[in-house]
Amino acid sequence: MDKQKLYKLPWTREDNPNGWIEPTTYCQIKCPGCYRGLGENSRKQEHQDIESLKKEIDFLTEKRNIQSLSIAGGEPLMYPDLNLLVKYASGKGLKIKIYTNGLLLDKGRLKELKELGVTEFVIHIDRHQQRSNSFSESELNATRQRFCKMFRKEGNVNLGFIMPISKQDIGQLSSVISFFKENSDIINLVVFVVLKEMLPNKKIDPKLKLSLQELRDAVQKEFGIDYCAYLGKEHCDEISWLFSFSAYSQGKLIGSFDNNLYRIIQAGYYKRKSKYFITIPNKPLSIKKMLPWILNASVRNILFKYLRNPFKNINHQVVLLIDPPDLTEKGWDLCDGCPDAMAYNKELVPSCLLERIKSGERILIK
């Protein structure tokens, strides 16, 4: 990929839009490749003390200049003090994103957490979780559709989906991506993560290995999107996070915004808020708000296609591809700035490698 056509995000260790906490390692299911080892038979389940979590939030806001806080796990909806945790983070003016398997998320819990300050849910659903008798991603679209209906009815809270992808999953992408496109009015974030084994003393099956380039090409082909921004890696010239920011009307792609527009939006947000953004509200894009960007070629292209069939909403959707770190001769090749960094022993560490850090490896965000 020609990086000159991409905007390199200026996120750093000290100036980063996102922070990460994990209040619990309790979970109802066992996912292959779980970074916490919760797919293992020897998994340890425990809840964290809420006062220590509040200190982690304070640490992240002071050290990172964060805009949003990701609450993950384990399954965060199993944490008994989640409401108090959300209320504390919301009181600090943070946008709050919960990563969940969705098993405990119903319309009542969604409404309650939204009112407490949760701005986004990212739901992990895939065929390897053995949550039902569904053996294909197309069969699981019925489960995904249930959440789409729930979020449409509630309104004013973002919905995203996340999936780890290996070589054996590439053939399943077509049906699930078609679903994400058709429901682009409510799904504003789609995350695909290259499956890697991050636990100590474990290695991924070579048959499952997938490169970011293979994933990038497959996702681009099925969505029809173009990419606009990226994060690099610490020790090489490769991409770790790759973003697409696209526009849809009635579930049909009408174009992708380019690197220049993404740069303008990030710079404008920073000028107003003194922070970078990673989360924006899932609201229709108005022509009035897009007109100041009319000199941008990608905006003109989108508006031209939209005006062929006007009077319908223009929705946006971000597609994010993540290639987790690899161990190299120079050490772990971490993502630039690591948006998913968390506090551990008063230091910033990559959440994906926490189990290795606990086992004695010294891996810090630089």
Q: What is the DSSP string of 171-217?
A: GGHHHHHHHHHHTTTTEEEEEEEE----STT----GGG---HHHHHH
For the chain, give the mean pLDDT: 95
Longest CA–CA span in the chain (Å) reads 60
Rounded percentage of the chain residues whose pLDDT exceeds 90: 90
| Confidence category of residue 357, pLDDT binned at 50, 70, 90 | very high
For the stretch 206-259, pLDDT in tens is 999 999 999 999 999 999 999 999 999 999 999 999 999 999 999 999 999 999
Torsion angle of alpha carbons 287, 289, 295, 300, nearest 10°?
A: -30
Average pLDDT over residues 136-144: 93
pTM > 0.75 = yes
* pLDDT tops 70 at residue 68: yes
pLDDT-wise least confident of 14-28, 47-61, 273-287: 273-287
- At 243, phi and psi to the nearest 5? -110, 145
pLDDT at residue 309, rounded to an integer: 81
Residue 201's pLDDT band, with cuts at 50, 70 and 90, is: confident
Task: Kindly indicate the confidence band of residue 310, based on its pLDDT and cuts at 50, 70 and 90.
Answer: confident
Strands (E), 209-359: 229-232, 239-249, 252-256, 315-322, 327-328, 331-332, 341-344, 347-350
Please state the rounded mean pLDDT for residues 299-308.
93
> Is 203 in contact with 187 (CB distance < 8 Å)?
no
pLDDT at 1 > cutoff 80: no
Rounded CA gap, 356 and 363, in Å?
8
In this predicted structure, the answer to whether residue 103 has a pLDDT above a threshold of 90 is yes
pLDDT at 166 over 90: yes
Q: 366 vs 157, which has greater pLDDT?
A: 157
Q: How confident is the model at residue 329 (pLDDT cuts 50, 70, 90)?
A: very high
Mean pLDDT of 23-28: 96
Q: Which residues, in sequence order, are bridge partners of residue 113?
A: none
Q: For CA atoms 328, 167, 70, 339, give the dihedral sign.
A: positive
* Residue 268 scores a pLDDT above 80: yes
What pLDDT does 134 receive?
A: 67
DSSP state of 12: -
pLDDT band at 168 (very low <50, low <70, confident <90, very high): very high
